[in-house]
Copies of this chain bind each other. A is one copy, B any other.
Amino acid sequence: MKLDEKMGLLRTYIENQGLKFTNQRDCIARCFFRTRTHISLDELTVKVKKEIPGTGYATVYRTMKLLTDSGLALSRHFGDGQTRYENLPATGHHDHLICVKCSRIIEFQNEKIENLQNETAARFGFTVINHKLELYGYCPECS
């Protein structure tokens, strides 16, 4: 999805909720949409402050809540005690390979795994709406 498209969706979401589209929200969303990493609130706040210096952590926090509620961002926990936010995958869902030594994170997709997941869930009568698959181990450099 293109940046403008995301910004449009955000604007719509905000208006539908009777909320207001502010400078800070615009800036925070753009900063976030630009990132390719799994960014934390602290890291994002630093970026945002470079563009709008006075911006408070609380505002970044609240805006990321908006973004996750609207489905434009995903929040995840990897193992350090921080919530990290990630952009929607370009195409379909993706999962993570995490190096336990150097903390490198690689993303991957595997449709076969997804299918098996749905099959398995169906056996228990579950309807899956989301999933999380993380493989922990050693990356090529660390093993």
Q: By the criterion CB–CB under 8 Å, are B126 and A97 in contact? A: yes
Interface-located stretch among A8-16, A46-54, A61-69, A107-115:
A107-115
**Is A33 in the interface zone, CB < 8 Å from B?**
no
Q: By the criterion CB–CB under 8 Å, are B137 and A130 in contact? A: yes
Q: Which of A's residues lie within 8 Å of B, judged by CB?
A: 77, 97, 99-100, 106, 108, 110, 112-113, 116-117, 120-121, 123-140, 143
Contacts of A137 in B (CB 8 A): 121, 126-130
Contacts of A134 in B (CB 8 A): 131-133
Q: By the criterion CB–CB under 8 Å, are B126 and A106 in contact? A: yes
Apart from the given pairs A127-B138, A130-B136, 20 other A-B contacts in the complex at a CB distance below 8 Å:
A77-B77, A97-B121, A97-B124, A97-B128, A100-B130, A110-B120, A112-B116, A121-B135, A124-B139, A124-B140, A125-B139, A126-B138, A126-B140, A126-B143, A128-B135, A131-B133, A131-B134, A132-B132, A132-B133, A132-B136
Q: By the criterion CB–CB under 8 Å, are B113 and A126 in contact? A: no
Contacts of A131 in B (CB 8 A): 133-136
* With A125-B139, A131-B136, A133-B131: A116-B120 Cβ-Cβ less than 8 Å: no
- Least Cβ distance of A135 to chain B in Å? 5
Q: By the criterion CB–CB under 8 Å, are B127 and A106 in contact? A: no
